[in-house]
Amino acid sequence: MIFDVISTKDNSNPMSLIMGLRKPMILHEGYIYTVERTTKMNSIFRCKNRDCKARCDTNLSMGAFLSLPTPHCRAPERDSVPAIRLKNDIKAHSAITDESTSTIIHSTLRAYPLSAAGQLPKNESLMLMIQRQRTTETVDADGRLPEKLRKTYRDGGFILHEDKN
């Protein structure tokens, strides 16, 4: 499983945990927190905006805050959450499918809210993100293409003559 979204509640303080390939992020009251430090018992999260000093202490196994987040020095960014989820969806989709880049972008943008269109990444950066997630086919030790690349999409021979030497 590459990406997972878990929602929990702690005394009417909703906390959403967004799991990615690298580190988890917490969404709480419009603010996004990233992992700063992890111990055996808990994880300390820091505001995504590094100029802000807000932190919270959590126990991820229980899905609860050990200490509520400290005050922020900025307004919440509620529109950036759909952009993060869009990026996670694109990464997950491109890792498991061979669809074209434009098809992946269009299928994930169908569910993107128009209210958050200002936070939408540029099309070029989305295309680059998809290309980074895909594995590249390499030539074998003899310098030949893999069998998958020797065929056309209709299973015809792409390479009509190949030198055996």
Contacts for 96 with CB less than 8 Å, ≥ 6 apart: none
Q: Rg of the chain's alpha carbons, rounded to an integer? A: 22
**Residue 126: what pLDDT?**
93
Mean pLDDT of 35-56: 88
Domain extent listing, the chain: 4-67, 80-133
User: Nearest CA to 65 among 10, 14, 16?
Assistant: 10
Q: Would you place residue 106 in the very low, low, confident or very high pLDDT band (cuts 50, 70, 90)?
A: very high
Percent of the chain at pLDDT > 70 equals: 83
Is this structure's pTM higher than 0.85? no
pLDDT for 117-137, tens place per residue? Answer: 888 889 999 999 999 888 777
User: Nearest CA to 65 among 14, 6, 4, 5?
Assistant: 14
Q: How far apart are CA 129 and CA 49, in angstroms?
A: 22
User: Nearest CA to 102 among 132, 123, 122, 133?
Assistant: 123
